[in-house]
Structure 1
């Protein structure tokens, strides 16, 4: 059955034993995950390249409505640090394009040490937009990206800010617009802490039909439990 509403996802598709009963018993891990959720964030692309046939296999394992958000390679964000990235980005997009219509947003997460530089950022964004016309979402982690000039540049290239928790740059109160992409890393202990139902409801009320909400607090297994709670909340809201 086609799912409606925002994309509720986790970083990767591992299913802990504690919630295994919420998923089909048969099929690959991805097939079982995609029977419940409508999206996933692929983080492995940050660390290494995948063959096109891998993306093709993933795309063939999920329903038509399912989408893959893909994290941009650290070669681009952490090694090149957004400088002279056109060739690297072209290779990356060529690889992930094997997902075809199931490719969702590309996530660009920067290292905490990477400051905002107008010329370098504009050159990088222009290169990205020459190659990729789809959804780009941006998660910097240096305070200099909070500047009005950085915000204006992101708007000029139609790059969406990530609403992250904990928020290194832009707190929830800074979003007058509906966030396109929400990443919940876990607080107070990043990657570990669970979100309460009350906290989940606060984030849920900020989501639109095309928003993404990704739980990245996966080190403790909390991500998928929280994602299931978020999905239940959203289904209740849509049916209410």
Structure 2
């Protein structure tokens, strides 16, 4: 019997002042915002890790404020993607993986690596970076153990951690080369689906799909309407029924309505939560 995948929908981050009184109920104290967001969404992309490594206690606290089945994705650090530009980055990768993402436990979803728009495809450096990314807990721990322990005590508890997943969002046109997707497929790494006019493609390069929905892709778009939501629900439903897990985040410029779009997509897929 075929096994269906799981679809999770959400937003990039959860701290956004204009959501207070719109998505968040009026009077909700800020320390309770993640718990509320996790009661309406089924995944959130952690963006704070892009700017700086976070502490294990923070990851553990975030995990503790979410219900069973909820997952976070974790954005890779700019030190790796934008400063090192994927080269000579074994040490910062080790430091990042040792910094505490494992403290999310079974709330840990994929890692996502957003490349700078001016980083062109180079087969040698790209392949070397993909080779470094751990895809099992054993490989993760092996790399994390190489972290600089003088900066912080490495967090190496992989309890409840299974397969490690990665998604990469290239933003330079040179990555449209089939060779780039071939490399991603070789390492079972998902190419991020952006849904923009510049990047409308929906290539699946892994056994799961990762969407950072920034469109819609049509040029006349003014945010996601119900027809867009329904169309995405149909597409993602097909991926799920084929056995793929799907992570879908609304990260477009219309951030005010991102939670509502994520909830609408969830409901269009027939996924209900307590309180619906």
**Fold similarity call, TM over 0.5:** yes
Residue 9 of structure 2 aligns with which residue? 8
Residue 154 of structure 1 aligns with which residue? 184
What is the CA–CA distance in structure 2 between the aligned matches of 1:24 and 1:105, rounded to whole Å? 33
Residue 130 of structure 2 aligns with which residue? 125
Is the aligned partner of 1:36 residue 2:40?
Answer: yes
Quick one: which of 83, 107, 114 aligns to 1:109? 114
| Count of residue pairs the alignment pairs up | 231
Matched-pair contact (CA < 8 Å) for 1:10–1:227: yes
Shift of 1:112: 0.8
Q: Specify whether residues 135 and 168 from structure 1 end up closer, same or farther in structure 2 by C-alpha distance, changes over 3 A only.
A: farther
Matched-pair contact (CA < 8 Å) for 1:162–1:181: yes
Shift of 1:69: 0.4
Q: Specify whether residues 166 and 91 from structure 1 end up closer, same or farther in structure 2 by C-alpha distance, changes over 3 A only.
A: same
Residue 194 of structure 1 aligns with which residue? 223
Q: Specify whether residues 150 and 188 from structure 1 end up closer, same or farther in structure 2 by C-alpha distance, changes over 3 A only.
A: closer
Residue 135 of structure 1 aligns with which residue? 165
Residue 64 of structure 1 aligns with which residue? 68
Shift of 1:25: 6.1
Is the aligned partner of 1:76 residue 2:80?
Answer: yes
Quick one: which of 52, 57, 60 aligns to 1:53? 57
Q: Specify whether residues 179 and 193 from structure 1 end up closer, same or farther in structure 2 by C-alpha distance, changes over 3 A only.
A: farther
Name stretches of at least 5 consecutive residues in structure 2 with no aligned partner: 141-162
Q: Specify whether residues 216 and 193 from structure 1 end up closer, same or farther in structure 2 by C-alpha distance, changes over 3 A only.
A: farther
Name stretches of at least 5 consecutive residues in structure 1 with no aligned partner: none
Equivalent residues in 2 for 1:83-102 (5 A)?
83-95=87-99, 96-102=101-107
Shift of 1:170: 5.5
Is the aligned partner of 1:229 residue 2:233?
Answer: no
What is the CA–CA distance in structure 2 between the aligned matches of 1:88 and 1:176, rounded to whole Å? 26
What is the CA–CA distance in structure 1 between the aligned matches of 2:195 and 2:104, rounded to whole Å? 28
Equivalent residues in 2 for 1:210-225 (5 A)?
210-217=245-252, 220-225=255-260
Q: Specify whether residues 157 and 168 from structure 1 end up closer, same or farther in structure 2 by C-alpha distance, changes over 3 A only.
A: farther
Shift of 1:38: 1.4
Larger radius of gyration: 2
